[in-house]
């Protein structure tokens, strides 16, 4: 099972929220974002991706949810790596939900956003929402995105993103919408990062999501 740490809810937990970090980072990278989101009735969990060689970084070993072959992110997609990480995330969720059966929210940045979408599309009991920050939907996953019906989606992207192009993120949003899914889309004047307004927008989305649960 994936290594992780968590922030216990100040109140009785009403939901379980997993935060999936980006390439080369670890779970601690998104802890400040979760703290800014707040919500004392949410148990925030931060898994660490396994360490693996990454082709685009000359085979250097680092924490990564899947391999990246080139700057063109849809060229030689690491389908096996993405699906394996999605399976590990689902396994962790199942272990943490326990008998309480808490509603689940997935949040991911960059690679973490990709894996969050993959885990959601493969079917996850209790999942109510996915927040994808600076990510995209892999080409191979598009036929199965209809499985996300009934899941609330939040997508946010930097308009000057030099790593995951804004156009790729927006095209993924458009594909989701064309499949009949509702997506709360936000674009920001920023590069490949997370800004304060994005966190505030996500916090509002999350509070609304939990109010309807």
Question: Are 30 and 18 within 8 A, CB to CB?
Answer: no
Give 122's contacts (C-beta < 8 A, 6+ positions apart): 83, 86, 87, 90, 144, 147
User: 163 is in which domain, residue-wise?
Assistant: 4-211
Task: For residue 193, give Cα distances in angstroms to 46, 64, 196, 206.
Answer: 18, 17, 10, 20
Question: Are 199 and 37 within 8 A, CB to CB?
Answer: yes
Q: Using CA atoms, how far apart are residues 139 and 77, in angstroms rounded to an integer? A: 8
Between β-strands 104-109 and 51-54, what pairing exists: parallel, antiparallel or unpaired?
unpaired
Q: Using CA atoms, how far apart are residues 158 and 135, in angstroms rounded to an integer? A: 10
63-72 pLDDT, tens digit per residue, is 999 999 988 8
Query: Over 80: is that where the pLDDT of 8 sits?
Result: no
Mean pLDDT computed over 151-165: 97
How confident is the prediction for the chain on average, in pLDDT? 94
212: Cα separation from own chain's centroid: 21
Q: Domains in the chain: how many in total?
A: 1
Q: pTM for the whole thing?
A: 0.95
181-194 pLDDT, tens digit per residue, is 999 999 999 999 99
CATH number of the domain where residue 117 is located: 3.40.50.1820
Enumerate the active-site residues: 110, 161, 192
Query: Over 90: is that where the pLDDT of 150 sits?
Result: no
pLDDT score, position 213: 66
77-102 pLDDT, tens digit per residue, is 999 999 999 999 999 999 998 777 89
């Amino acid at each position: 099972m994936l290594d992780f740490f968590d922030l216990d809810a100040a109140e009785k937990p009403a939901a379980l929220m997993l935060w999936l970090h980006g390439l080369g980072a670890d779970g601690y990278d998104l802890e400040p974002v979760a703290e800014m989101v707040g919500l004392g009735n949410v148990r925030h969990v931060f898994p660490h991706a396994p360490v693996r060689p990454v082709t685009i970084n000359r085979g250097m070993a680092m924490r990564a949810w899947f391999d990246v072959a080139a700057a063109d992110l849809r060229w030689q997609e690491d389908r096996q790596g993405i699906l394996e990480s999605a399976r590990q995330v689902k396994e962790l969720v199942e272990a943490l939900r326990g008998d309480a059966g808490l509603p689940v929210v997935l949040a991911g940045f960059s690679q973490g956003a990709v894996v969050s979408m993959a885990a959601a599309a493969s079917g996850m009991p209790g999942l109510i929402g996915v927040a994808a920050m600076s990510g995209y939907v892999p080409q191979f996953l598009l036929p199965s995105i209809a499985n996300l019906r009934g899941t609330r989606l939040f997508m946010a992207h930097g308009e000057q993103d030099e790593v995951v192009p804004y156009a790729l993120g927006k095209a993924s949003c458009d594909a989701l919408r064309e499949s009949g899914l509702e997506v709360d889309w936000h674009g920001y004047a920023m590069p490949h990062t997370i800004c304060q307004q994005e966190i505030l927008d996500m916090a509002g989305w999350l509070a609304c999501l939990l109010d309807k649960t």
